[in-house]
Chains A and B, each alone.
Chain A
Amino acid sequence: MTAPLLEVENLRTRFHTPDGVVRAVDGISFTVREGEIVGLVGESGAGKSVAGASLLRLVEDPGRIVGGEVTFKGETLVGFPDGRAEAGDGSGDDADDRWRDDVLSAEAIRRRIRGREIAIIFQDPMESLNPVFTVGGQLREFIELNRGLTQGRARELAVDMLREVGIPEAEDRYDDYPHEFSGGMRQRVLIAMALACEPSLVIADEPTTALDVTVEGQILELVADLQAKYDTSFLWITHDMGVVAEICDRVNVMYLGEIVEQADVDDLFYDTSHPYTEALLDSIPRPDRPVDELDPIAGIMPEAIEPPDGCRFHTRCPDARAVCTEINPDCRPLDDAGRPHRAACLKHESVFGAGYRESDPIENEAAGGFDVGRTEEGTDD
C-alpha cells in the first residue's frame, strides 16, 4: 500500500478562553488515502470542525494547534520541534517560528495548499457565497487566482464547472447573484468551487446539514459521481450516520476531542465496538433494525474544559465500570485479522487487559433514573 495522502498524528488543538482551556481536539490520529471518502463523525461539540480547520492551520484566536503532526503528500503542514510540542507562547499560528523547520510556511500553505490541494466545503451554503458578487464572478476569480489562467479561459472553465455540478443553463446563471439561487443550488456552486482547482483532498464540513433530505440525497449523489470522476479524496465531517453509511469508505468516530472508534464503514455498522458508536446508532432510525422507539444518548456531553477523568464517555456509557473512571484507553486495533478496526474501549479485555471484567458497574446517566443533566459521580467533581 502506498503512503496515505493525508496523515494526522496525535493532533491537538486548544482554545484558551477566559473560563479555561478547551481541549477541542485532543490527540487524534487518522489517515486519508487517495480516492477515499473518510468520515469524521460525532455529536455537536465533539471537535470535528476544529479538527478539519486545524489541518489547514485555519484555527483562529483564541484557538491554537498545540501538538501533533499533519503530513500531506509528503509535506508537513503541522509539526512541532522536539520538546516544544506544548509551547504555549503568545505568538499565533501564523508565526512561522513556532513550527519545525520542515513545516510549510504560512505563506506557502496559503498559496499552494489552501484551495489548490485541499479545499473546504462549509456547512451553510446560504452564507458561504459573498452576497455582493455574482456566482460566476466568484467562481471565475477563484479559478483565476489559483490556476493562473486568463479571465476568458477562467470564465469558460467556471461555466463548465457549473454545468458539471448540475446547474441548468449555466451560461445564463453565471451572472446571477447568490440570493437568486436556492440552497441546494448554492451548495452545488460551492462544490464546483471546491473542485474547480482539482484538489487532492476536499474537507466537507457538514455540507448537507443545512439542506433538506431530498436535496441532501441529490448532493450526495453528485459528490459520489464527481468523486469517481476526479478521484478526489474527501474528509467528510458530519453528525449524520445515514450520510456516513451512504458515502464513506472509512469512518472515524469522535467524542470530546478524541477518536473513539475507527473502522471501515461496514464494520462500524455491523461490528460496532465502542459504546458511543452504538449509542449514536441507536439514536437514529435504521432500515436494517426494527425499532419501536429511538434511544437518545443519555445525558449531555461534558464540557471540554474539564473532560472527565478516565474514559471520557464513562459518564454516559451504559457499559461503564469502575475501571473506566481511572483509565482513558487509547484507540487500539481490535484484532490481527488485518482489518483496520480500532476502538478505545476497555470492555475489549483481550486487547486492553485493564481488569474490566472484575470491575464493578458504576451508576451514571445511562444507568437509568438520571437521564436529565449530569450526576455528581459522573464528573468527578
Chain B
Amino acid sequence: MTVATRRSETDDVVESTPEEPGRSGRTEGRPEGREIEARVGWRYTLREVGRDPTAMAGLLVVGVMTAMAVFATVDAVVFASLARFEVFARVGVRQYWIAETLWVSPIAEPSPRLLPPVGMENQFGRGTWAHPLGTDDRGRDILARIVYGSRIAIQVGIVSTLLGLVGGVLVGAVAGYYGDLVDDALMRAVETLYAIPFLVLVLAVMAAFGRNLTFAILGVGIASIPTFARLIRSRVLSVREADYVEAARAAGVRDRNIIRRHVVPNSFAPVLVQATLQVGYSIIVVAGLSFLGFGAQPPTPSWGQMLSVSKDYMIQNVWFSIWPGLAILVTVVGFNVFGDGLRDALDPRLQNE
C-alpha cells in the first residue's frame, strides 16, 4: 500500500518528535512501516467485497444481467429509434438487428410451438440447438426472450430504485438537517406514503396515470421513497452534529452545499446497501405487475409477462414457466447477495476477522 509507506517516510521529517502512538489515529505512520489499512473509501469497499465469495457471486450475476440488459437495450430501443432515420435504415439498422443477424428475433414466430429444451422431448417434438431453452406458445425462442426480457427487469429495477433513492434522500436529508417543523412536515408526509401497502400504492399510481411500464416504474419509485427517506434521516441526525459540518457552517458554506457535500456523502452507506436490495425487490414487484397484466405489453418480452402466459401451458411444456421464473430468481438473489456483501464491507462493526 503506497499510502502507508509514504506516511512513514514523511512523518519524521516534520514532526521531528514521534507522536504518542494511538493519539493520532489508526493510520499513523510507524518507522517499521507496518502496513495499516485504510478502512474507508471505494478502494477499501471493493477490496472487502472481493474477499467475500458470495458477494462476488452476486456481483457477477448483477454484472452479467446488466451487460445483457445494456446489449438488449441497444438492440431493441436504440436501434428502433435509429431505424427511423433514412441514413441508418439504408445500412440495415432495425429493431432486433443484432439478434436477428446472430440468432433469432425474440418477437418473430417462426418455429414449432412449445418445444422443450435441447435434448428433451414432448408431444410437440424434440428440443434442438436452434432453440436451446425451447420455444413458447407462439413458437418464439425462449432464450432470446429471456435475454431481451432482462432489459425490462434491469431497467425497472434500477430506474425505479433511483427514483426512490433520489426522492427519499432529498426528503430525508432536508428533514434531518433542518429538524423541527421541516422535519415534522416532511416525515409525516412520507409516513403517509408508508401507511399505504406497497402494491396498492403502485396500482393506485397506475390507475391514476396509465397502465403501462413507465407508470409501473414511477409507482414503484414513489412507493420506495419512505424507506430511503427514513433510512438517511436517521443517519443525518447524527452526521449534522459532526464537527466538519459545524466547520463548514463557520466557513460560510450554504446550507444546500453542506447537505450536498458534507451531510449526504457521509450518510450514504446504508442507503447504498438498501438501494441494491431495493433493485431486487422492484424487479419482483414489476414482474408481479406484468404477471397481472400491468406493465410491459406484448409483444415486448418481459419475464413477468412470459410467466403469466406460460401458466396456461404448464402441463404441455413446464420449461416455458421454469426459465423466466429462474431468471427472476437468479437476478433478485444476485442483487440481494451483493447488497449483503456491500453492507458487510461498509459496516466495520460486522467485521470479525
Footprint of B on A, CB under 8 Å?
53, 56, 58, 61, 109-116, 119-120, 122-124, 126-133, 141-142, 145-146, 166-169, 172-173, 176-177, 179-185, 190, 193, 211-212, 214-215, 218
A127→B241 CA distance, assembly (Å): 11
**Pick from B3, B13, B243, B261: contact of A180, CB under 8 Å:** B3
Footprint of A on B, CB under 8 Å?
3, 6-7, 10-11, 13-15, 17, 19-20, 23-29, 38-41, 180, 242-244, 246-254, 257, 261-262, 265-266
A91→B246 CA distance, assembly (Å): 21
A181→B254 CA distance, assembly (Å): 27
CB proximity of A146 to chain B, nearest CB, Å: 7
Query: Given the complex, which residues of A lie within 8 Å of B247, measured CB to CB?
Result: 120, 122, 128-129, 190
**Pick from B20, B26, B27: contact of A212, CB under 8 Å:** B20
- Asked whether B15 lies within 8 Å of A184 as measured between CB atoms, the reply is yes
Add 12 more A-B contacts to A115-B250, A131-B40 (CB < 8 A): A111-B252, A114-B252, A115-B253, A119-B250, A119-B251, A141-B261, A179-B40, A181-B25, A182-B29, A185-B15, A215-B17, A215-B19
A142→B38 CA distance, assembly (Å): 25
Query: Given the complex, which residues of A lie within 8 Å of B248, measured CB to CB?
Result: 130
Residue of A nearest to B29 (CB): A182
CB proximity of A246 to chain B, nearest CB, Å: 17
Query: Given the complex, which residues of B lie within 8 Å of A126, measured CB to CB?
Result: 25
- Asked whether A142 lies within 8 Å of B251 as measured between CB atoms, the reply is yes
Residue of A nearest to B268 (CB): A132
- In the complex, the 9 A-B pairs of residues with the closest C-beta atoms, listed nearest first: A114-B252, A115-B251, A182-B24, A127-B243, A183-B24, A115-B252, A120-B250, A214-B17, A132-B265
A155→B15 CA distance, assembly (Å): 25
Beyond A130-B265, A212-B19, A215-B19, whether A179 also contacts B252 by CB under 8 A is no
- Asked whether B253 lies within 8 Å of A145 as measured between CB atoms, the reply is yes
- Asked whether B27 lies within 8 Å of A179 as measured between CB atoms, the reply is yes
- Asked whether B266 lies within 8 Å of A179 as measured between CB atoms, the reply is no
CB proximity of A185 to chain B, nearest CB, Å: 8
- Asked whether B252 lies within 8 Å of A146 as measured between CB atoms, the reply is yes
Residue of B nearest to A137 (CB): B261
- Asked whether A177 lies within 8 Å of B252 as measured between CB atoms, the reply is no
A214→B28 CA distance, assembly (Å): 16
Query: Given the complex, which residues of A lie within 8 Å of B39, measured CB to CB?
Result: 179
Residue of B nearest to A211 (CB): B23
- Asked whether A129 lies within 8 Å of B244 as measured between CB atoms, the reply is yes
Beyond A169-B10, A215-B19, whether A177 also contacts B38 by CB under 8 A is yes
Residue of A nearest to B248 (CB): A130
Beyond A142-B251, A177-B38, whether A130 also contacts B14 by CB under 8 A is no
A131→B26 CA distance, assembly (Å): 14
CB proximity of B18 to chain A, nearest CB, Å: 9
Query: Given the complex, which residues of B lie within 8 Å of A212, measured CB to CB?
Result: 19-20, 23
- Asked whether A218 lies within 8 Å of B15 as measured between CB atoms, the reply is yes
Beyond A126-B25, A131-B40, A180-B38, whether A215 also contacts B15 by CB under 8 A is yes
CB proximity of B217 to chain A, nearest CB, Å: 30
- Asked whether A122 lies within 8 Å of B252 as measured between CB atoms, the reply is no
Show 20 residue pairs from A and B whose CB-CB distance is below 8 angstroms, ordered by the A residue: A114-B250, A120-B251, A126-B25, A127-B244, A131-B40, A131-B266, A132-B265, A142-B251, A145-B253, A168-B10, A177-B38, A177-B40, A179-B25, A180-B27, A180-B38, A181-B27, A182-B24, A183-B23, A211-B23, A218-B15
Residue of A nearest to B262 (CB): A130
Residue of B nearest to A113 (CB): B252
- Asked whether B17 lies within 8 Å of A182 as measured between CB atoms, the reply is no
CB proximity of B136 to chain A, nearest CB, Å: 49
Query: Given the complex, which residues of B lie within 8 Å of A141, measured CB to CB?
Result: 261
Residue of B nearest to A218 (CB): B15
CB proximity of A317 to chain B, nearest CB, Å: 35
**Pick from B28, B41, B180, B253: contact of A182, CB under 8 Å:** B28
Query: Given the complex, which residues of B lie within 8 Å of A182, measured CB to CB?
Result: 11, 15, 19, 24-25, 27-29
